Amino acid sequence: MNMLDSEMVVASLRGEGYGVTDSPEDADTILFNTCSIREQAENKTYSALGRMRQLKQDHPQKVIGVMGCMAQKDQGLIFKRAPFVDIVVGPGQLQQIPDLIRTAQSQGGQHTAVSLGRTDGKVEQVKRSHETFDPLRDPEMRPTPFQAFLRIQIGCDKFCTYCVVPMTRGPEQGRPPQQIFEEAKILADQGAKEITLLGQTVNSYRFRDGETHTSFAELLHLLHEVDGIERIKFVTNYPKDMTVEVLQAVRDLPKVSPYLHVPLQSGSDSVLKRMKRGYTVGDYREMMQRIHEHLPGAAISSDFIVGFCGETEEEFQETIKLTKECRFKNSFIFKYSERTGTKSQKLMADDVPYPTKQRRNNELLAVQNQISLEDNQQFVGAPIEVLVEGRSKKSVKDNESGEIVQLTGRTHCDRIVVFQGNQRLVGQIIPIGIYEATAFTLLGTVVTSESRPQVVQLSL
């Protein structure tokens, strides 16, 4: 979400004559795009802002702004902690940034543009205040020119007790399907071969216009018809909305990746209840059964929070047990971080000691890494199709030069593959023969047309 927001803000500023620089000293405007999901992200932002204090004193004409979820949550607090900041802009007001910059330059002072709080107006007023300006796109700001994010949903109505997103991103609302379709065509015209659909609970997408109703599965069918788009992915999913209709769409549409990121968060019913996740372990098991029934080769990944309020050792071991049962492709594991304004912060004690959180994090990570290693071994000896993204991090770090360098790419199911190849392959989907697997990466070689065998289609 934040990467997409940054892309669109840069697109709007380029339209005002701005360029992008890597040097704060050379910049006329410095913008921090922020996240409020974890406390550490906010701490890093305030630390980075602190390093701007002297630069602002030396160059008072520079405009310094804070945008995104932290801006929406903290608002005036940012000015108190960093009084040299000029503008604070919530994620629903990003289209106002060019005007706010001009105002700060011409009038000075501090300026704020944020959305209404959940209870600060009628539902439609609150929704409108969180709308974004998505059609503005800038391919130069993407990680690769042939991969792009496409937001289909704004906000969230799940209200998990630990999460600030319903407050910072506003009510859940799906964007009009025709608008999404037209934006996908723009992305294809700009060279994107792969689009990733974004939403806080992306498979909960729905759009109603009078008597017309569009479901997430119907949207997938619509986007599948966009010429030039070869792969469609989507994150992040909500377990109870992983319906048969959605799974059948993934199964029947070749462009849609059989990769499903479905956060579990905990394997304990009592913890899930305290988190107000809205499902039980039994519900999640039923979802997994549906997935395996309709998509037997799908790759499934998950999110976990360890050390949530009151989590006992027995509850944590239930998470370990369910992780071993589900055998996720990979998992993103986080130590619980208390967030101001959430129900858990107001009503529950953050009573699991940090060393215990750290131990549980490491223990769950070790279990997941072993599963990932074992599952990746199945690809050794098989050729699989890979979208080549560019030079690997190691290649860039080692400053490799020449036509043949270490490249990296991803399979249809989002597995990372590293191989030696010609840089002209970047942006293409090619077969790679796998000769080694780690928990995180598949290592392979380019399969030549002279000896190209049948490419594996499942579990990619």
CA 420/CA 354 separation, integer angstroms = 42
CA dihedral 179, 182, 186, 189 (to 10 degrees): 170
pLDDT in tens, 231-284: 999 999 999 999 999 999 999 999 999 999 999 999 999 999 999 999 999 999
Write down the pLDDT at residue 344. Answer: 97
Beta-carbon count within 10 A of 293 CB: 10
C-alpha to C-alpha distance for 86 and 435, rounded to whole angstroms: 54
Q: Which two tokens stand for residue 230?
A: 């070869």
State the distance between the two ends of the chain, measured CA to CA, in whole angstroms: 25
Token couple for 127: 């929704």
Return the ∠ at Cα 66 (arms to 63 and 68), rounded to 5°: 145
Q: How many CA atoms lie within 13 A of 401 on its CB side?
A: 0
Cα separation, 177 vs 179, in Å, equals: 5
Note the pLDDT of residue 378: 95
Q: Given phi > 0 = left and psi -120 to 50 = alpha, else beta, which region is 242?
A: beta
DSSP 8-state code for residue 278: S
Cα(127)–Cα(117) distance, rounded to whole angstroms?
A: 10
Domains and CATH numbers, the chain: 2-123 (3.40.50.12160), 142-257 (3.30.750.210), 264-376 (3.30.750.200), 380-451 (2.40.50.140)
Task: Give the DSSP H/E element, type plus range, for residue 25.
Answer: none
pLDDT recorded at residue 304 = 98
> What is the reported pTM?
0.91
Each residue of 28-51: pLDDT tens digit?
A: 999 999 998 888 889 999 999 999
pLDDT of res. 134 = 63
Q: Please identify which residue in the block is written with the tokens 């029934």.
A: 293
Question: Residue 453: is it exposed, middle or buried by C-beta count within 10 angstroms (0-12/13-18/19+)?
Answer: exposed
What is the C-alpha separation between 243 and 245, in angstroms, rounded? Answer: 5
Q: Are 447 and 383 in contact (CB under 8 A)?
A: yes
Spatial distance between the Cα atoms of 436 and 382, rounded to a whole number of angstroms: 10
How far is residue 334's CA from residue 198's CA, in Å, rounded to a whole number? 21
Residue ranges of the chain whose pLDDT lies below 70: 133-135, 449-460
